[in-house]
């Protein structure tokens, strides 16, 4: 097939460190190329891909981003007749009017949960746009859309390796913000009497202030170590050697890619019952889904019952990039309401 992938331009594809959407687009694009499809990636010019790359500029995240994304969409329109399918991964509403004008089959992957009441008139107007959810739970928080399928994230199996013998610390990896729950992870580790290693970084001024006031003082404690933002190699070490990975998010996560990264290393996940978490974690098999700090502490006592080899097996079966690609190919070919694999 001849396929176009349209990414945001706030970060390169793949991003250097943080950037779940752009990383997911990269995995999808590279696997489609590996399987012999003719793929064009519309993204920032500093992206790295085996696909054909079309771009108006290097990545830009300031107010001018919308200007350059408009140019990007103009480039897409000019080339649209070259494709059998177009997959939008944009993080805003800019492309929505185009979906009605393009003669090429197109779908929009909703990487965010658009639950703001102010968006209701917008989503009602474009409720006919073929949309793909990252999880079934994501749909419950959004107005009715023309859902044609749910496709879970997938990772290349070789990206991380199984670590059968864990260390004696807990790990937290993610954005440092009140919603993501780094403070909850600290309290869980404190009650469990275990060391916690925190990786990630604040993104905004408000998040930096919250980090300085709420998180940073704990980094002087002997049981909390903060290592900042890390890349894939460091993730392997952090997650693979962890006794368990903590995901105490307070957000209704559309997915949560970091849970897959942990499972790929064989490390059980302990996560709050939010958003897609119950769809990703198999209770007692790859981790535990809990309600609060007390539940997470209790789950730590049960982690030894989980087989780390089994965690890796479940990852390979349910969350490989090849499975993700096969699900998308069905949608590109016109099959609607593709369901995720159990």
What pLDDT score was predicted for residue 335? 59
In whole angstroms, give the CA distance from residue 61 to residue 304.
43
Tell me if 2-154+320-332 shares its fold with 158-318.
yes
Structure tokens at 253: 């996560």
Task: Let me know if 213 is exposed, middle or buried by CB neighbors in 10 A (0-12, 13-18, 19+).
Answer: exposed
What pLDDT score was predicted for residue 92? 75
Q: Are 209 and 221 in contact (CB under 8 A)?
A: no
What pLDDT score was predicted for residue 51? 98
What pLDDT score was predicted for residue 342? 46
What pLDDT score was predicted for residue 228? 93
What pLDDT score was predicted for residue 341? 47
Q: Where does residue 37 fall: left (phi above 0), alpha (psi -120 to 50 degrees), or beta otherwise? A: beta
Of how many residues is the chain composed? Answer: 342
- 158-318, CATH topology level: Rossmann fold (3.40.50)
Rounded to 10 deg, the angle between the 293-300 and 182-192 helix axes is 50
Instruction: Provide the residue ranges of all domains of the chain, joining segments of one domain with +.
Output: 2-154+320-332, 158-318
Q: Are 210 and 183 in contact (CB under 8 A)?
A: no
Q: What angle do CA 221, 226, 228 make, to 5 degrees?
A: 160
Please tell me the pTM assigned to this model. 0.90
Structure tokens at 32: 């489609």
In whole angstroms, give the CA distance from residue 294 to residue 279.
22
- 2-154+320-332, CATH topology level: Rossmann fold (3.40.50)
Instruction: Flag residues of the chain having pLDDT under 70.
Output: 91, 115, 335-342
H or E segment at 310?
Answer: helix 308-318
H or E segment at 42?
Answer: strand 38-42
* Segment 32-91, tens digit of pLDDT: 999 999 999 999 999 999 999 999 999 998 888 889 999 999 999 999 999 999 999 976
CA atoms lying within 13 Å on the CB side of residue 30 = 16
What pLDDT score was predicted for residue 322? 96
């Amino acid at each position: 097939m001849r396929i176009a992938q349209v990414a945001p331009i706030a970060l390169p594809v793949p991003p250097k460190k943080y950037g779940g959407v752009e990383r997911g687009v990269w995995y999808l694009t590279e696997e489609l190329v590996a399987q012999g499809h003719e793929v064009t990636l519309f993204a920032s010019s500093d992206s790295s891909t085996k696909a054909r790359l079309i771009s108006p500029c290097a990545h830009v995240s300031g107010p001018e981003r919308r200007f350059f994304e408009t140019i990007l969409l103009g480039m897409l329109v000019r080339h649209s007749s070259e494709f059998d399918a177009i997959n939008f991964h944009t993080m805003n509403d800019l492309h929505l009017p185009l979906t009605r004008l393009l003669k090429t089959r197109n779908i929009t992957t909703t990487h965010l949960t658009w639950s703001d009441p102010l968006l209701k008139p917008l989503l009602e107007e474009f409720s006919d746009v073929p949309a793909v959810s990252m999880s079934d739970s994501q749909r419950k928080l959004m107005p009715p859309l023309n859902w044609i399928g749910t496709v879970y994230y997938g990772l290349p199996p070789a990206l991380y390796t199984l670590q059968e013998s864990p260390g004696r610390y807990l790990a937290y990896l993610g954005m440092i913000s009140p919603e993501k729950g780094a403070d909850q992870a600290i309290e869980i580790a404190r009650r469990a009497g275990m060391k916690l290693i925190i990786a990630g970084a604040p993104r905004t001024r408000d998040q930096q202030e919250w980090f300085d006031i709420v998180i940073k003082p704990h980094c002087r404690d002997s049981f909390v170590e903060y290592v900042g933002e890390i890349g894939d190699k460091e993730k392997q070490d952090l997650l693979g050697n962890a006794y368990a990975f903590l995901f105490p998010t307070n957000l209704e996560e559309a997915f949560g890619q970091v849970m897959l990264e942990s499972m790929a290393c064989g490390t059980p996940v302990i996560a709050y019952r939010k958003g897609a978490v119950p769809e990703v974690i198999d209770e007692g098999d790859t981790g535990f889904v809990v309600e609060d700090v007390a539940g997470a502490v209790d789950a730590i006592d049960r982690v030894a019952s989980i087989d780390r080899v089994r965690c890796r097996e479940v990852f390979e079966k349910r969350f490989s990039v090849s499975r993700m690609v096969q699900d998308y190919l069905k949608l590109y070919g016109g099959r609607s309401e593709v369901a995720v694999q159990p």
